[in-house]
Amino acid sequence: MSNRRTFAIISHPDAGKTTLTEKLLLQGGAIHLAGEVKARGQARRARSDWMKIEQQRGISVTSSVMTFERDGITFNLLDTPGHEDFSEDTYRTLTAVDSAIMVIDAAKGIEPQTRKLFEVCRLRSVPIITFVNKVDREGKSGFELLDEVADTLALDVSPQGWPVGMGGTFQGVLDFASGEVSRPEGPSKEFRGKREADAALPDEVAEEAELARIGYPEFDLEAYRNGDLTPVYFGSALKNFGVTELIEAIATHAPPPRPQPAGEEQVSPERDEVTGFIFKVQANMDPNHRDRIAFMRQVSGTFKRGMKLTPSGLGKPIAIHSPILFFAQDRELADTAEAGDIIGIPNHGTLRVGDTLSEKNQIRFTGLPNFAPEILRRVVLKDPTKTKQLRKALDDLSEEGVIQVFYPEIGAQWIVGVVGQLQLDVLVSRLEAEYKVEANLEPAPFATARWLKGDAKTLGEFEGFNRANLARDRDGDLVFMAKSPWDVGYQQEKNPDLTFSATKER
């Protein structure tokens, strides 16, 4: 069986994802960090700092790949930006993982962003391990948290341990499987490896733990892998409690690389051909070069450096001479990758989010969505002679997935669409820094966009009547620009033979 575990951490900002990531990497002895774990402290969420990092490094602070090894298992942790403005990127990253850890703040329970991300995982039946973080502080009771997960997410919960006190009374974490209690040590009250078997527990804790153990379903591998049940671990990322248990849970329970959908077909990791799909494109480190790194999730086969793969968007093979293999600790290994691994492929814009790469060019992976933008803006040039540069920039940035671009059928006012405000800030700043184009973003007369599908005749008729509300996206596909969500409903009703789709799969 494959020794790869490719996963992501989902959480609401501040729940402790960064801290947990660091602890996982520390325990695993990270081999390579593509992009650092984001800067600590308040600064990390200040918009200006995000932008500065984007500019200085020329890469977005968004999903990077971190790989570590432990007991013969290779863990690929794909980072997802916690900032909700980057949710589109996060969603796409979640299409490239086989499982996820959901981090919950013990004092706050399920928060909106956790819930949203969870729903994306559920769409794809991504199995979830839950980590209730910060039990070293005062929080909700364990039962309250378990019931909250079960009720709000409609999931079976299976507690795997129990906090021995919380906040001021915190004395460690009991592990149900081993019966041992991990104990805090030293003035910082961290876990440093002290585990007590047959530890005496306060009566109340012993009672609660017993209730938790018998009152909730036992762990069931199949139910977990189907996304119907989540094992719940209590811990503290900051104080190192529960981190080892979490790594072990991923190693033993989390699924190895799963088959990926390609239309009607499921492509198995055992298929003896290298296949993969691009889930992310980043501008390269050096802002003076327009190089990009496309991140490919390998689905099958054994990749070797120099191999020729055909991108679906291009139709002819390209040789992958200088792949970035994130797990490559020593140079010897840097030449191959397996199903489940992520390969960074430098390119000049040939590879786009959603592209399939394969040796035989016979399959197309499906299920990588573009999301209907929630914010639309008109791009107004300060210097109207720069139209060409602007078009190039908008095309590039939409290929990278930073924005979506819509070229209206009538008029020359190009429109950009994003899911979150921060994407707009990044757009303006990158237009200036990389393309020397100064532009203003002004309100657009539209509220949302829908991709249109239908037979050529129906589409043609609709086009004839609605040209003022139609645009083409980067691929030339027809998009209905709606003045309001009501407008979408109205048009859908009037045109039952057309679909107005809020997502587009490439």
Q: Which residue ranges make up the annotated binding site?
A: 11-18, 79-83, 133-136
Binding mask 17-46 for ligand G4P (x = CB under 6 A): xxx--------------------xx-----
CB of 10 to ligand G4P, least distance (A): 10
With residue 222 as reference, give the H or E element that holds it: helix 221-225
147 binds ligand G4P (CB under 6 A): no
Measured from the CB atom, is 40 or 360 closer to ligand G4P? 40
From 5, 10, 11, 351, residue interacting with ligand G4P (rule: CB under 6 A): 11
Q: Which of 382, 376, 381, 420 lies closest to 402, judged by CA?
A: 420
From 133, 171, 356, 404, residue interacting with ligand G4P (rule: CB under 6 A): 133
The one-letter amino acid code at 84 reads E
Task: For 123-161, give one letter per residue: b (16+ CB within 10 A) or e.
Answer: eeebbbbbbbbbbbbebbebeebbebbbeebebbbbbbb
Residue 197: how many CB atoms within 10 A of its CB? Answer: 8
**Residue 324 CB contacts under 8 Å (≥ 6 apart), including other chains:** 34, 293, 343, 344, 345, 346
Residue 274: how many CB atoms within 10 A of its CB? Answer: 25
Binding mask 48-87 for ligand G4P (x = CB under 6 A): ----------------------------------x-----
From 134, 280, 386, 506, residue interacting with ligand G4P (rule: CB under 6 A): 134
Of 131-139, 376-384, 442-450, 486-494, which part binds ligand G4P (CB under 6 A)? 131-139
114 binds ligand G4P (CB under 6 A): no
The one-letter amino acid code at 48 reads S
How far is residue 180's CA from residue 177's CA, in Å, rounded to a whole number? Answer: 8
Binding residues for GTP: 11-18, 79-83, 133-136
C-alpha angle 294-297-300 in degrees, rounded to nearest 5: 135
Please give the backbone phi and psi of residue 120, each rounded to the nearest 5 degrees, phi first: -65, -40
Measured from the CB atom, is 21 or 300 closer to ligand G4P? 21
Binding mask 232-271 for ligand G4P (x = CB under 6 A): ----xxxx--------------------------------
Measured from the CB atom, is 13 or 261 closer to ligand G4P? 13
Measured from the CB atom, is 20 or 415 closer to ligand G4P? 20
16 binds ligand G4P (CB under 6 A): yes
CB of 187 to ligand G4P, least distance (A): 15
How far is residue 287's CA from residue 492's CA, in Å, rounded to a whole number? Answer: 44
98 binds ligand G4P (CB under 6 A): no
How far is residue 403's CA from residue 222's CA, in Å, rounded to a whole number? Answer: 39
Measured from the CB atom, is 242 or 344 closer to ligand G4P? 242
Angle between helices 142-153 and 203-215 (to 10 degrees): 20
Residues at the interface with ligand G4P (CB under 6 A): 11, 13-19, 40-41, 82, 133-134, 136-137, 236-239
